[in-house]
Amino acid sequence: MKTKLTAILAIVNIASAMFSARAEILPADTLAIVKDAHSVLVTRSANMNTITIMGQGEDDEFYYSYTSQRVDTVAEVPKGDDEWGLSLPFLREVERKKSEVVWLGNTQIGICMPIDAPAGFDPSIDLGIGKVVGIKYTPWNKGPFFSFGVGVFAQKFTLHNKSMFDNVGKSLVVIGLPEGARDSHVRLYNFGFQMPFTITQNLYRGFSLSAGVVMKFNTYTTASNKYSIDNRSYDTSFKGLQQRILTYDIYGGLGWDNFSLYCRYSPLSLFSRGNGPQFEVVSFGLNLGF
């Protein structure tokens, strides 16, 4: 009987020890719990991290080591206004592409108005594609962005008030229509290439302001007269005119996303003095592809 009692007590003690041990089972995802570690060493290799623990409490011989593989990811964290010391609340945060190629941008349809021109010059048509191909550069997240392009343009000037063109030597001049002339169509055309340099800043929710200079290469300029007298038609054209090859426009635009209103001012006359009529030009209209 005493032997049986002793055996039962032994089994109870073993069970209690096992229960205590199970009560100290580590929580899920926990590799080890070390109290009063003497030293902890963390090392990093090309693709691994290693943690080594030596000594614990009164146990100088305690040693634990764990190695895990590391996968590095590179994430670009945008700088906030506080980091730059800059706060521009009226500007819209836009996704930045530092540089990109633009095709068929700044397509313009408008009206050109001669200023201080000889009598008879009327407003007419202004057409152009500012950037058949261009480059857009955005150095900062909140703008502005800079752009440069190569495009084409065409302008037509009409002449009324019983006036027409004539050639005196190499000079294009404005004279009166012959007596009895009617059904007149008098035109001056100017075609060429243009190179716009612009800077554009977003203002608020897609509204942007743009300004710049447009260099114009006037490669082809021609004039024509058409009229009739006593049911007989007369048609005269003037080519090889002495226009200025290089002129420039001052450009400004205000718009929303890809639509804007533009205004251009040409302070330099198409013809130098002695080669043709003197006038400046203001043009304005709709711009597609801001």
Flag whether pLDDT at 277 surpasses 50: yes
pLDDT at 84: 44
Strand arrangement, sheet containing 48-56: 37-44, 48-56, 59-69
Identity of residue 58: E
Flag whether pLDDT at 90 surpasses 50: no
Distance CA 149, CA 212 (A): 12
Flag whether pLDDT at 20 surpasses 90: no
Kindly report the CATH number that applies to the domain delimited by 92-288.
Answer: 2.40.160
Flag whether pLDDT at 59 surpasses 90: no
Compare 36 and 92 and report the one with higher pLDDT. Answer: 36
The residues facing 247 across adjacent strands are 216
Per-residue pLDDT band at 7 (split at 50, 70, 90): very low
Instruction: For residue range 153-196, list pLDDT tens digits in order.
Output: 999 999 988 899 999 988 999 999 999 999 999 999 999 999 99
Q: Dig out the tokens for 94 from the structure.
A: 């836009």
3-state secondary structure of 207: strand
Q: Dig out the tokens for 259 from the structure.
A: 């639509």
Q: Dig out the tokens for 102 from the structure.
A: 């633009």
Beta carbons of 283 and 263 less than 8 angstroms apart: yes
- For the chain, give every domain's residue range: 36-72, 92-288
- pLDDT above 70 covers a percentage of the chain that reads 79
Distance CA 161, CA 177 (A): 9
Burial of 153 (0-12, 13-18, 19+ CB in 10 A): buried
Q: Please, what is the average pLDDT of the chain?
A: 81
Least confident of 5-19, 92-106, 148-162, 206-220: 5-19
Compare 26 and 288 and report the one with higher pLDDT. Answer: 288
Contacts of residue 85, Cβ cutoff 8 Å, sequence gap at least 6: none
Beta carbons of 72 and 116 less than 8 angstroms apart: no
H or E element in which residue 205 lies? none
3-state secondary structure of 41: strand
pLDDT at 87: 42
pLDDT at 25: 57
Instruction: For residue range 93-141, list pLDDT tens digits in order.
Output: 444 558 889 888 888 999 999 999 998 899 999 999 988 999 999 888 7
pLDDT at 73: 55
Residue 93: φ, ψ to 5°: -70, 125
Closest to 54 measured CA to CA, from 34, 76, 32: 34
Q: Measured between alpha carbons, how far is residue 66 from residues 28, 117, 141, 271 in Å?
A: 17, 88, 44, 84
Contacts of residue 60, Cβ cutoff 8 Å, sequence gap at least 6: 38
pLDDT at 13: 52
Q: Measured between alpha carbons, how far is residue 150 from residues 63, 73, 101, 289 in Å?
A: 72, 41, 12, 14
Please state whether the predicted TM-score (pTM) of the whole model is above 0.85.
no
Residue 5 burial (CB count, 10 A): 9
Please count the residues of the chain. Answer: 290
Flag whether pLDDT at 16 surpasses 80: no
